[in-house]
Amino acid sequence: MIKASNETRLVSEFTLKFTGNWIIDLGMLGFFNLLEEIYEWNFLETQKRIKENEEIVYYGIFPFAYICSEIKRKGSAIPKKIIKDFVNEIYKREFKSKKEIFNFTWENYITKAATDHWKDYIISKAIDENKDKKFIKGTPETLKSLIKRMEDFEKEFIRKNRDEIKKFLDKERKFQKFKYEDIKKFQDTPIKFKEYGKEFVKNAEEFKRIISEVDAYLDKKWDSEVISNKNIPKERAIFYRIPIANKYYTNFLFFQPKYTHEKQKKELYYAIDSKIKEKDVLGRIDKTINKFLASYDKAVNIYYTPLKTKYFIDIIPYLFIYLLCFDRAFEYYRNIGYLVFYSNDIFATYKVNKRLRLRKSKIESEDDPNSIFRSTWQTVIDTIIEMESWWVLENLYLIKYADLSKTQRFIDVEYMGISRLQATVLIDEDLRRNLNQRLQIDEDKYKWLFEEFIKNKPLISTIMNHLILRLNQETKQRKIQPLLYSLALEAELFPEYGFTHLFEDPISLNTKLDELVPRIKKSRKKMDLARKDIKKLLSESIRENNAPHLFSIIRRQNKYSFANSLLKLIISSQEKDKRLIRHLNDYIFHEIIQNDETWIYYALGLFMGFIGG
């Protein structure tokens, strides 16, 4: 595999890039996910293949993958061999046109991949449905009579061997006829002679033979009339429809149950080729997609306007492919719902989501509702550290929607982002590294500084709780710098310093933001120096004996009392280093005595000298 970090610098060379519209972008992500699911191609591999031969990917690779994936969603498996053969074959052949690529894919491989699923569908309908729905329009008479024979035998079989059948099928209640799943069980499970007796085995074998006959008949029909056949008999056009349905795009285009096999094929081709120009179809797409947008009344987020496909159709090639893949961008998490991480960078978005999927079981197993937040952030941070794409930080969203099946109309979308200010802080490596730490705050409770910061929660309370453990020697954590960075950060972000005005003049805010990180670092340095001075000035026993008392004064926020106790300790020391005395004196005078607003952060910074580490 090509190393990601090297490759990220070539971002601009990606063939497929995000557009800035989140719905289309997530569609692209879904497109990558789809190809990964079916062909096991990663992001870079797919990009490479698009670059090499775009038409093969969009007119061959995509439709095959899409139909396979829809079939898989219905619970049918696609033999790996078919997929492998298809990829080998399509890249070997020469095609004259896009249409030829598509037709080759559909006629030879999509149909082949759909065989088992189609058979299951036809038989299950015949078994489980009643009267009118039992047989699809155009069902051959031979099949009807085969099914009739199967059902006649079934009645007799049940009458004779009811108890054994109940045992075999694990049925406790009364039953009159088999369901499709029962038939499947007969088909797939070997029957043990000893357990059920001679008569049952004999009848069961006969029943299996009849089922196989139905199966073989369907195989033969599909094989001779559908696979590689351009002219499917008109009377059986609906009978041979590929039975796919999609919860998100209900009854949309080729998912429409009334469409014939030919029409499905045509519609999918049109979709790929962006030939859908009919107003009502576009209207339906718009409606389907706009479920994700809050109503104007409720809309609190003004970044996204309703998407009208007609405006994009000529600008974005393969628009409908992405729209069709939209739902594949999301991953379902138990207790949370469908979720996707979105940023303005295609590779970062892909990577973060892939890593989130790897952490899925961990996310789902945690009771804490914040675990998804934490995991997302941890993943985002890991990814951008690796990719060095800091710009991603300024544009992050976690999009979530509730269950689709219950109500199609209402879907909940949540955005998660960070402010420019937070991004500015996190772009700095030192700050990010030091905030990316978990502090123990109770016997078995930890807090992630990064998370607290992103959530605009005060870091100082976490630090205070952590220091209590440190003083009581109830934690093994010994790190000092993350604490100092947090204190310095919070001291510089103190509300009085004017970072709370949301609509501040961007130019003046920019200047302020530019100065912010150097200021935080300067404060951290001062604190660190004061801490080291204290360590040098006072003996270990004095520091240990006085730490609890000083800490309790800080907690009571009594500035002068803190200064009083501290100064008494300092004057009783015999230190001869004049520079050290001067530093400490200036620090206490300027940062604590004179500082009415943020003295507590500096007091704690100095106090770090009293504890180990």
The footprint of other proteins (CB under 8 A) covers 560-561, 563-564, 567-568, 570-572, 578-579, 581-582, 585, 588-589, 593-594
Q: Which letter, b or e, does each residue of 574-607 get, where b requires 16 or more Cβ atoms within 10 Å of its Cβ?
A: eeeeeebbebbeebbeebbeebeebbbbbbbbbb
Q: How far is CA 299 from CA 290, 292, 394, 503, in A?
A: 13, 11, 22, 19
- Return the number of the residue (201 or 567) whose C-beta is nearest other proteins: 567
Three-state secondary structure of 98-128: HHHHHHHHHHHHHHHHHHHHHHHHHHHHHHH
| Least distance in angstroms from the C-beta of 568 to other proteins | 6
Distance of closest approach, residue 528 Cβ to other proteins, in angstroms? 19
How far apart are CB 471 and other proteins at their closest, in Å? Answer: 24
Nearer to other proteins, 432 or 526 (CB): 526
By beta-carbon proximity to other proteins, the closer residue of 336 and 570 is 570
Distance between CA atoms of 158 and 175, rounded to whole angstroms?
Answer: 9
DSSP 254: G
Please name the helix (run of DSSP H) or strand (run of DSSP E) that holds residue 467, with its range, or none.
helix 459-471
Is 371 within 8 Å of 363 (Cβ atoms)?
Answer: yes
The smaller minimum CB distance to other proteins, of residues 181 and 577, is found at: 577
The CB-of-585 to other proteins minimum distance in angstroms stands at: 5
- Interstrand relation of 337-343 and 396-401 (parallel, antiparallel or unpaired): antiparallel
CB of 481 to other proteins, least distance (A): 27
Shortest Cβ 546–other proteins spacing (Å): 15
Residue 158 and residue 266: Cα distance in Å, rounded? Answer: 45
Contact call for residues 244 and 254 (beta carbons, < 8 A): yes
With respect to other proteins, which residue has the nearer C-beta, 213 or 575?
A: 575
- DSSP letter for each residue of 545-581: HHHHHHHHHHHTT-HHHHHHHHHHHHHTS----HHHH
Residue closer to other proteins (CB basis): 465 or 561: 561
Query: For other proteins, which is the closer residue by CB, 162 or 582?
Result: 582
For helices 62-73 and 261-272, give the axis angle rounded to 10 degrees.
120
Q: CB-based contacts of 419: which residues, under 8 Å, 6+ apart?
A: none
Provide the minimum distance between the beta carbon of 369 and other proteins in the complex, in angstroms, as a whole number: 45
Q: Which is nearer to other proteins, 440 or 561 (CB)?
A: 561
Look up residue 176 and give its two tokens: 């009159």
The DSSP secondary-structure symbol of 274 reads T
CB nearer other proteins, residue 282 or residue 570:
570
The nearest distance, CB 540 to other proteins, in angstroms, is 23
Q: How far is the CB of 542 from other proteins (least distance, A)?
A: 16
448, containing H or E segment:
strand 445-448
CA–CA dist 178, 267 (Å, integer): 37
Token pair of 260 as six digits: 């014939």
